[in-house]
Structure 1
Amino acid sequence: MKHLWNSALGLLIVTGALLGLTLPFGKIATGAGVPPILWPFVISCGAGGVLFLVLLVRRRPIALSPHRLRYFLIAALISYAIPNLLLFSAIPHLGAGYAGIMYTLSPIVTLILSILLGVRRPNALGIAGIVVGFIGAVMVATTRGVADRPADIFWVVIGLLMPVCLALGNVYRTYDWPKDTGPIELAAGSHLATAAMLLVAVLGLGQVGSFATLADVPWLVPLQGASAAAMFAFYFRLQAVGGPVYLSQIGYVAAAIGLGAGVLFLDEHYRLLTWLGAAIIVLGVIMTTKAQSQGA
């Protein structure tokens, strides 16, 4: 376990696999009638609650400061609340596997943001990778989800907004990481803040009664909570060990898990163009990742 905690590759595989499980879990939940806004609350409440208990057992409660409080709120909004709401709203229309492909665009968007913000100068390989990734994204977008149930273009756009939020979160969390603060503390604080935001939204929308829908998936709620708690502990550790660019590559593993689960267990089928586009996106991500490593 100690070796895994210090291995960027090991953390990448474990985090990506756990992230990938949220895709089929989310589709099963929303298919059972759980509102899209409620399932992200389950994830963040479960993750934040379990990790907070771990900190209490270790006698390391979350120490609030203006910097940490700001970090928790901003990270909660752009890294979890918004992208998860987009994800679970789109999954019933696009499919778990298709939504997983969107994760793979995060490294490309991260590089684009770095260029726009002047953080990194683009080189020829990086620009080529962005172009290749964009071509793959257009190919995937034109297929509009599951082969026999093409979604409205609105949901495709919603799916494409998710990697933008993820990229923003990747950059922000590294840039503003509070000093002398461990990954479990940041994960717990960020997810408790996310859960609080989503709870206010649920109450504000008058959907208190929607909590009763969780009784339709009683086995899935604790499973998702435990999975999310483990994932985000590894997630923040991976950010500390590997940095935002390496972290963004969890989309590879998550997409593979989401596609596999969708095809094997959720009766999802995708056009050849979707698979070709996904492969081209992966090629573009490899190019942009190599370009960033060269720049570093």
Structure 2
Amino acid sequence: MSDIVRRSPVSALIIAIGVLVGVSFTLSKLVSMAGISALTALFWQVLLASIALLALSFRSKKRGALNTRHIPYYFGAGVFGVSGPALIGFLVLEHVSLGFYSALVTLSPLFTFAITALIARRMPSLQRLIGILIGLAGVSLATLGGFELSDVEPTWIALSLLGPLVLACGNVFRSYAYPPGGDPLGLATGTLLSQLLLISSLLFGRGSSIGDISVPPALLGTVFGIGSITALSYVLTFEVQRRTDGVGFAQVGYFATLSGIAIGAFAFREPLGFGLLGSLAILFLGLAITNGHLSIPPVLRSRSGRRQA
């Protein structure tokens, strides 16, 4: 892995992943609008990303481990972090706006916080909760204009809500099951290959051929873009997960939301709420507090300690 990535602050990597995810949402919507089936689009996304990561692995001489600890991790991280969210995105983005779906991703940090608290049977620190809530407030400012949902069936809205929930499950799973000493590139490669095996089995096990899942030439660039973004974002994902926990990583959702809303307004002429720049500043504040770059006032920490005692 590049030394630049290893030396980059966690917050910078979180922002980068969020922007990549927002761009990926945009490309996924283009594929959905073209009528490509969700499973077909997911197959090409994972295939291209797997090829890219395999090439990087051979070049860097990094190999993903194959043992009883890593193989379940590959499949769990893949289903929750790759196939599940991508499949939901391909399905719903044909029916809901990019801005609306991106806005729902802001629920991922709160879901992650709640699931982590349930598993650990204790509340994470007050500082992290305050940082997450500040981030949520920042994104809310960007979405004050609202979204037109009168023509959207409730089924698609409900399915859209599964996206941030599955992402949250992935954040927690990767955090708790992360193999000791795991290499981010090796883990990303193994995770995507596990999903390529799973999706190929689903497609070709029901009698599909390569011709049945072909992509129109006009969409090749879009599909290639999704695959490339997937490869890069998951290498960065496992690097961040190596250095922080699921609650910290979950803030990717905030930056994915803002980039998705901004790109949706530009590419699809979707409504853009006022205060995008202000919300971005608030987001940076929430990120700094959650990751410990800024501290909450001592009086708040002392009150929290007395309540827990």
The answer to whether TM tops 0.5 is: yes
| Offset, 1:243 | 2.4
Kindly indicate whether residue 32 of structure 2 is the aligned counterpart of residue 27 of structure 1: no
CA RMSD of superposed structures (Å): 3.7
Q: CA contact under 8 A between 2:27 and 2:225: conserved in structure 1?
A: no
Change (3 A) 1:52 1:61: same
Change beyond 3 A, Cα 1:75–1:52: same
Partner of 2:50: 48
Task: Quote the residue 1:227 is aligned against.
Answer: 229
Instruction: Tell me the residue number matched to 1:157.
Output: 158
In the TM superposition, 1:87-106 aligns within 5 A as 87-106=89-108
Contact 2:136 2:254 in 1 (8 A): no
What's the counterpart of residue 189 of structure 2? 188
Classify the secondary structure of the residue corresponding to 2:179: coil
Residues 123, 75 of structure 1: alpha-carbon distance in 2 compared, 3 angstrom cutoff: closer
Which of these residues, 242, 245, 260, is aligned with residue 243 of structure 1? 245
Letter aligned with residue 176 of structure 1? A
The C-alpha deviation readout for 1:252-292, integer Å capped at 9, x for no partner, is 211111111111111223789xx99xx7xx88x959x7599
Paired residues of 1:96 and 1:259 also in contact (CA < 8 A): yes
- Kept after mapping to 2: 8 A contact 1:20/1:257: yes
Are positions 1:108 and 2:110 aligned together? Answer: yes
Return 86-95 or 196-205, whichever deviates more.
196-205
Does the residue aligned with 2:120 lie in a helix, a strand or coil?
coil
Aligned partners of 2:26, 2:51: CA distance in 1, in Å? 22
Question: Which residue identity lines up with residue 263 of structure 2 in the other structure?
Answer: A
- Say whether the 8 Å CA contact 1:47–1:226 is kept in structure 2: yes
Match of 1:254 among 248, 256, 275: 256
**CA shift digits 1:158-187 (9 cap, x unpaired):** 111111111111111111111222001111
Q: 1:4 to 1:63 in 2, by over 3 A?
A: closer
Q: 1 or 2, which has the higher helix percentage? A: 1
- The 1:21/1:110 distance shift into structure 2, 3 A limit, reads same
Relative to structure 1, the CA distance from residue 52 to residue 216 in structure 2 (aligned partners, 3 Å threshold; closer, same or farther) is same
Per-residue deviation at 1:188?
0.6
Structure 1 residues 37-92: Cα deviation after superposition (integer angstroms, max 9, x where no partner): 22222222222221122111222222311111111111111222122111110111
Matched to 1:169, the amino acid is G
Separation (CA, whole Å) in 1 of partners of 2:270 and 2:212: 27
Q: Is the contact made by 1:78 and 1:166 (CA closer than 8 Å) also made in structure 2?
A: yes
Deviation at 1:229, TM superposition (A): 1.3
SS in 2 for 1:92: coil
- Residue 149 of structure 1, CA deviation: 6.5
Residues 219, 103 of structure 1: CA spacing in aligned structure 2 closer, same or farther, 3 A cutoff?
same
Whichever residue aligns with residue 238 of structure 2, its letter is F
The 1-side partners of 2:219 and 2:116 are apart by 41
- Give the distance between the partners of 1:196 and 1:181, measured in 2 at CA: 21
In the TM superposition, residue 101 of structure 1 has moved relative to its aligned partner by 1.2
Please, which of 119, 122, 129 is the counterpart of residue 120 of structure 1? 122
Q: Which TM-score applies when normalising by structure 1?
A: 0.82
CA distance in 1, matches of 2:80, 2:219: 28
What secondary structure, in the 3-state scheme, does the structure 2 residue paired with 1:115 have?
Answer: helix
Question: Matches of 2:36 and 2:85 in 1, distance apart?
Answer: 17
Work out whether residues 100 and 258 of structure 1, in 8 Å CA contact, stay in contact via their aligned partners in 2. Answer: yes
The change in CA–CA distance for 1:60 and 1:2 in structure 2 (over 3 A counts) is: closer
State the match for 2:307 in structure 1. Answer: none
CA 1:57 to 1:2, structure 2 compared with 1: closer, same or farther past 3 Å? closer
**8 Å CA contact 1:4, 1:10 repeated in 2:** no
Change (3 A) 1:196 1:156: same
Does the CA contact (< 8 Å) of 1:110 and 1:168 recur in 2? yes
Mapping of 1:143-182 within 5 angstroms?
147=148, 150-182=151-183
